[in-house]
Amino acid sequence: MGQRMRAVISGGLAGLCNGFFGGGGGSVLVPCLTKWCHLSQREAFATSVAVILPLCVLSAGIYLWRSDLSLVAALPYLVGGSIGGFLGGRYFKCMNVVWLRKLFGLLLLYGGVRCFL
Amino acid sequence: MTDWVLPLVVGTVTGILSGCGVGGGTLLLVYLTAFAGVDQHQAQGINLLYFLPAAALALPSHWKQGYLAKPLLLPAILSGLLFAALAAWISTGLEVEILRKWFGGFLILIGIHELFVKSKQEPCGNEKNGV
């Protein structure tokens, strides 16, 4: 299978998660890009941000239209996200991702289990 | 005022991760649903909106540093848009309780993957130019 076809499938999976769960597309896309499309970790992280951004625009539009999403409640997260996103882009080169991912995994398990309680 | 401070701090921390593509959005979803008690659809919508500035402000750096795999972008984005539209349509029409179970299963799968699948740390600042 060509690299382009792999990108189509990886992007489609990311889109499914992005639309259905309102996030988590990157968590699916990054492993697809590294294991399947043979990108380095950093290329995969950066590329996933670029792929997910337009998907978020579309999904957010559909959520605004079809569910009663409050812009006021979202505003502080938007401001925080702007500051964080800028910093994340700048210090990206020196991020130690291994321990971060372990912590991340634990938090996700906690959140996941909470959904069934 | 205090309603503002915590979301702002949480948004900043997860924004750093989101900017790096390390799952900040997924983490914010966990915070919103498991800690802040926000309704599932609302949480998902907030997360989608939040990612827009976080990603937009991180991208120029990624671009300049040459980390974007440009040939893969267009095919991945086009197919992603199609599936995102379909999935968002279905999701916004689902009962919150059902969606929450799916979401829980999704988090557990990703959590297990992050914990048990080995990822190697690359040396700090290895510059590469696309694919």
Question: Would residue B69 count as lying in a domain?
Answer: yes
Residue keyed to tokens 């979301």: B7
The pLDDT of residue B124 is 52
* d(C-alpha A77, C-alpha A80), whole Å: 5
Mean pLDDT, to the nearest integer, of B26-31?
92
Question: Would residue B129 count as lying in a domain?
Answer: no
Question: Would residue B122 count as lying in a domain?
Answer: no
Beta-carbon contacts of A58 under 8 Å, excluding residues fewer than 6 positions away, are A19, B81, B84, B85, B88
* Residue B129 confidence class, pLDDT cut points 50, 70, 90: very low
* d(C-alpha B131, C-alpha A38), whole Å: 9
CB pairs under 8 A between A and B: 438
ipTM: 0.89
Question: Would residue B126 count as lying in a domain?
Answer: no
Find, among A88, A65, A21, the residue nearest to B56 by Cα: A88
CB contact under 8 A, B88 and A58: yes
CB contact under 8 A, B125 and A102: no
Greater pLDDT, A87 or A18: A18
CB contact under 8 A, B11 and A57: no
Q: Report how many domains make up chain B.
A: 1
Q: Tell me the two tokens of residue B92.
A: 């916004």
CB contact under 8 A, B51 and A95: no
Greater pLDDT, B90 or B4: B90
Alpha helices (runs of H) in chain B, residue ranges in sequence order: 2-20, 24-30, 40-64, 70-93, 96-116
User: How many Å lie between the alpha carbon of A55 and the closest alpha carbon of chain B?
Assistant: 5
Positive or negative, the Cα torsion across A16, A21, A22, A28?
A: negative
CB contact under 8 A, A21 and B91: yes
Search chain B and give the residue with CA nearest A8.
Answer: B76
Question: Would residue B124 count as lying in a domain?
Answer: no
Find, among A101, A11, A41, the residue nearest to B17 by Cα: A101
Residue ranges of domains in chain A: 3-114
Model confidence pLDDT, tens digit, residues B57-112 = 889 988 998 999 999 999 999 999 999 999 999 999 999 999 999 999 999 999 99
Find, among B131, B31, B77, the residue nearest to A77 by Cα: B31
* d(C-alpha A115, C-alpha B57), whole Å: 32
Query: Which residue from B7, B100, B119 is facing A115, i.e. has the nearest CB?
Result: B100
Range of the domain at B101: 2-116
Q: Which helix (H) or strand (E) holds A104?
A: helix A97-114
Question: Would residue B7 count as lying in a domain?
Answer: yes
Q: Does B98 touch chain A (CB under 8 A)?
A: no
Question: Would residue B97 count as lying in a domain?
Answer: yes
Question: Would residue B59 count as lying in a domain?
Answer: yes
